[in-house]
Amino acid sequence: LLPLWLMMQAMVSAQKKLNSTGRRSGRWRTSERCRCRAAQELDSLKLLYAASSGDGHTMPGHPECFARSNAALNGLNTALEEANQATVNDASTPRDLEQLKNALANGVDYDEATDELLQLVHVPAYVEGLRELLPRAREAGCMTIETGGPTYFTPYSVMAAVSAVGAACAVADEIVAFNNAAVSTPAGLVLTRPPGHHAVPGGPKGFCLYNGAAVVARHVQQKHNCDKVVVIDFDVHYGNGTADAFRDDSSVLYASMHQERIFPFEGNIDEVGQGEGEGCNLALPLPAGTGRTLAFESWDTVIAPKAREFLRDAKKCFVVISAGFDAHFLDPTAQFMWDASDYYHLARRARELAGECAGGRLLYIMEGGYHVDNGNEASRGVGGALGVSIAELTRSTLGLASLEETLAARGNQVEASAPEKKAGLFGNMFGGGGGGAKVDPVEASRFALYGRAPRPDEPMELGMDILHRARQIHGI
């Protein structure tokens, strides 16, 4: 893989300069690749990915900033390099490294989302109105267009947002192309910003401009004849925008596990959808302090059974994951206690669900995740909690052991100072805590470097009661 700085240069260049067709140059479409490469080569491909830096869409001091792009790409690159090296070291696969890059994971070319695509979810007045703000943004440099987040807007924000949605739809198209070619279906991973799951059909909210997950759901229904779509959201904040988009729709199941009583202050357990969509909105508002046990219990006993039942009679379906990484215990915007290895195991569960019920059609879209610097000299370049978590999700997708398992096998110990969780500028608004808990320095620094969190007691009684009530409400 190219060094990170070269990748970032390529992304920025692509963001600003389109070829004559308006298409991002430099990558093949999978449909073209399917005609050019043997099926046995395609069968080894495990991941399709797209990235957009959102260059120019950034605000000093705001958690949703350009540094998130660096952290996300660091995480992806880390896992891909490990996968390539592991295969190079395997004597049974005597191929050079450049071949292995194409065999394991491929980047996907994409176009900016058209108005027609955006309007699958968003009302025309909003799509047009956002562009009409550009002259004011050019004059102001950066302006606030929604105070709940707050959501900011710059002269480059529309370009960033339509690139993010376009990338997500392009990767979804490629996943379906592989599936239609009757070869092993790779998962998709879209690392773009700004995020999207708070954006409602008629406007922006919570850092989000356009709702990529919702647009992808509609897109695969209309273009690829998927009769049912499941959108699972494990961002620590409830995806109110996605829920709004499908509130009265029986063809899309939206399921979210999130922290209760924080932004956007929605997602109560009795929010189940309405009209024809009643029962197709599954909200699990979990208490602060939720960690691995409650997260996995939520998936295993509520979300996965609900999704399986929903997809049972589907002819063709698709699974979209709104992959927020802000449930991590170092994230400044909330108070969950997940660590990076939890994303590894959630990715395994998502892959199993998609393989069982959706022909392997599975797409992750990055939402939140705002810890990008863990303050440890030895871990520079890892990308903070966001980067380490994305690396673990990618390892799981590629079939690698988690770094937690690798370190346990090696018995590695790391000496460093304990990191602290900082509330930051937006901590109080989102419900994030203040300073971090007092933990053993070695244990904390192992987490800082490799994604292992201290394991405090979880609020099991409260959490299990919520899951019990959800099973009753939804007949699980």
Instruction: Give the residue numbers annotated as catalytic, written as ranges.
Output: 198
361-to-97, 222, 229, 319, 372 alpha-carbon distances in Å: 27, 16, 10, 6, 30
Q: Which helix (H) or strand (E) holds 308?
A: helix 304-311
Amino acid at 183: V
Which phi and psi angles does 386 have, rounded to 5°? -60, -50
Nearest-angstrom CA–CA distance, 108 and 389: 22
199-to-3, 196, 210, 387 alpha-carbon distances in Å: 34, 6, 6, 24
Nearest-angstrom CA–CA distance, 337 and 291: 5
Nearest-angstrom CA–CA distance, 218 and 122: 11
Which phi and psi angles does 330 have, rounded to 5°? -90, -10
Nearest-angstrom CA–CA distance, 57 and 11: 14
Which letter does DSSP use for residue 379 in this model?
Answer: G
Q: Which residues pair with 111 in a beta bridge?
A: 23
Among residues 472, 424, 465, the alpha carbon closest in space to that of 290 is found at 465
Nearest-angstrom CA–CA distance, 329 and 296: 16
Among residues 248, 294, 245, 249, the alpha carbon closest in space to that of 470 is found at 294
Burial class of residue 161 in the structure, from the number of CB atoms within 10 Å of its CB (0-12 exposed, 13-18 middle, 19+ buried): buried
Which phi and psi angles does 51 have, rounded to 5°? -140, 145
Write down how long the chain is. Answer: 476
Task: Identify whether the C-beta of residue 224 lies closer than 8 Å to the C-beta of residue 316.
Answer: yes
Count CB atoms within 10 A of the CB of residue 271: 18
Task: Identify whether the C-beta of residue 250 lies closer than 8 Å to the C-beta of residue 295.
Answer: no
